[in-house]
């Protein structure tokens, strides 16, 4: 299959999803900058989790956001470096640390609370234009791929109808 043919088929689906994700993150970053938000888009989940639920261990953050341990560590590293989060001893278990927002992190969390309803509304408009709840479809696709990975689907023996 030649490159142009590949790009015109569903075989390039993951590429298109990646391009869409890149566009969404870039447009969110622009919208956040317009609102004087300083956190990067890829840390929004962690900031929201800590802002709404309080201190969490790195393992708990990774589990809740379905991040790998390495990805959680990378995103937390950015938050530490920019003084939006700090690791502190767990008050319930002195053997481990929990991550909490700093004052600057809580300020960004407060800005995020004003930003998220705007983002939800923007997505609602997009989904209305598409005539499709793309978020629900993506979640369903993720569930299906966790149940039956692409490798099994490529073997042709799915037992699904």
Give the residue, 4 or 139, on which the prediction is more confident: 139
Residue 94, pLDDT score: 80
- Contact, 123 vs 62, CB < 8 A? no
- Contact, 46 vs 75, CB < 8 A? yes
Parallel, antiparallel or unpaired: strands 93-101 and 85-90: antiparallel
Tell me the CATH number for domain 39-154.
Answer: 1.10.10.10
Percentage with pLDDT > 70 across the chain: 94
Give the span between the Cα atoms of 6 and 16, in whole angstroms. Answer: 12
Give the span between the Cα atoms of 151 and 33, in whole angstroms. Answer: 40
Residue 161, pLDDT score: 47
Cα 36 versus chain centre, distance:
21
Map out the domains of the chain as residue ranges: 39-154
Percentage with pLDDT > 90 across the chain: 83
Going by C-alpha positions, the residue among 11, 85, 25 that lies closest to residue 55 is 85
pLDDT greater than 60 at residue 160? no
Over residues 78-128, the pLDDT tens digits come to 999 999 999 999 888 888 899 999 999 999 999 999 999 999 999 999 999
- Contact, 137 vs 116, CB < 8 A? no
* Average of per-residue pLDDT across 20-44: 97
Residue 86, pLDDT score: 98
């Amino acid at each position: 299959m030649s490159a142009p043919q590949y790009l015109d088929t569903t075989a390039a689906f993951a590429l298109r999803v990646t391009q869409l994700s890149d566009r969404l993150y870039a447009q969110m970053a622009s919208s956040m900058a317009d609102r004087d938000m300083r956190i990067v888009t890829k840390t929004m989940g962690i900031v929201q989790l800590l802002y709404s639920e309080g201190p969490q261990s790195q393992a708990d953050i990774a589990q809740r956001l379905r991040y790998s341990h390495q990805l959680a560590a990378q995103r937390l590293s950015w938050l530490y470096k920019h003084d939006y989060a700090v690791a502190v001893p767990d008050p319930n278990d002195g053997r481990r640390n929990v991550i909490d927002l700093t004052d600057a992190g809580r300020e960004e969390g407060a800005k995020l609370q004003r930003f998220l309803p705007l983002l939800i509304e923007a997505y609602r408009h997009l989904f209305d234009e598409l005539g499709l709840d793309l978020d629900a479809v993506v979640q369903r696709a993720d569930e299906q791929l966790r149940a039956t990975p692409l490798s099994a689907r490529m073997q042709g023996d799915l037992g699904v109808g």
